[in-house]
Homo-oligomer: A and B are copies of this chain.
Amino acid sequence: MILGNSPIKLSNWEEKLDQSDKIANKDDFFNHAISLNLRNSIFVDNTANELIAKEYSRYLENSIGVVTCNKIAASDLLSNYLKLKNISRKYGSSFLYETNVGAGLPVIDTLNNLVASGDQIIEIQAVLSGSLNFIFNNFKKGISFYEVTKTAQINGFTEPDPKIDLSGVDVARKILILARESGLNIEFDEIENNSFLPDDSIHATDNESFFNSLKKNDSHFNNLLESAEKKNSKLKYVATLKNGKASVGLKEIPKNHDFYNLKGSDNIVLFYTNRYKNQPLIVKGAGAGGEVTASGIFADIIRIGKK
């Protein structure tokens, strides 16, 4: 890693990093940040790493803001989530993670503004997975579910282990975060996960057996598709929060529903609240990808800068 108090140029950061003989070490990094003793320090975590997520508390306790697209902290045990929130309040240090849901889309900020201004969340409906969108947008008669998933994996639209996406774990983390920001004190294992996978896919222990199970269960997936098409509906993987309960699962979405025409990596969130009762407040747009995530991270940094 590189430590210093002069800016690192974008033109040669890779070279500089290669030249550095300093082994990455989170304690050295923390101590360096403290020793610089700057007024506006922000710790930015662009990893998906659990160990780095454990670092936030000591930065916040030292009045250093934390900005992160890493979902682990906000979807951790409720006690850890609340602890970070409390530390952030106590030390007046911002803890922002807008990019945890919908990348750069203003989802969490909008939700926070609604709740802070006294509105109550009645229901949230959302499509929050770029990978599952890609898979179900391309799953059509004549192409097997196995083939579509393989293509998604090869093109980098899924995690290297596609079961993380297909099992709904990633989407469940996101609706957990929205539920908590709505004021609900719930744990990850309270989220109802209605899996569309057959049993042997769920229990597959490696990529090869997972893909084999998809191939073997071809008719299972075709049945899901046929059932939706019979009703002039499309398959979408939906997260819901209603009556204090969160759930994720595959749904048949009819024409005229706001989810029906969702393209590419678009995410969409529908907020039904006391004020937006009949027609929801909707945020929609690209919800995955490096550029829009970086944009959301940058917006969070600017939010802290404006304080």
Q: Which residues does A use to contact B, with CB under 8 Å?
A: 104-106, 109-110, 113-114, 116-119, 256, 261, 263-264, 266, 271, 275-276, 278-286, 291-292, 295, 298-299, 302-303, 306-307
Contact = CB atoms under 8 A, between A and B. Distances in A.
A110 B113 CA distance: 13
A109 to B, nearest CB: 7
Chain A contact surface mostly: mixed
Nearest to A285: B281
A285 B295 contact: no
A144 B212 CA distance: 64
A292 B275 contact: yes
B292 A117 contact: no
B275 A281 contact: no
Contact of A281 (B114, B271, B284): B284
Contact of A284 (B275, B284, B291): B284
Nearest to A298: B117
A291 B306 contact: no
A298 B118 contact: yes
A275 B286 contact: yes
Contacts of A275: 104, 286, 291-292, 295
A117 B295 contact: yes
B299 A113 contact: yes
A174 B119 CA distance: 25
Nearest to A302: B116
Given A281-B286, A302-B116, A106 B109 contact: yes
27 contacts: A104-B281, A106-B110, A109-B109, A113-B299, A114-B295, A116-B299, A116-B302, A117-B295, A117-B299, A118-B295, A118-B298, A256-B261, A266-B279, A275-B286, A275-B292, A276-B286, A279-B285, A281-B284, A281-B286, A282-B282, A282-B283, A282-B284, A282-B285, A283-B283, A284-B284, A306-B307, A307-B307
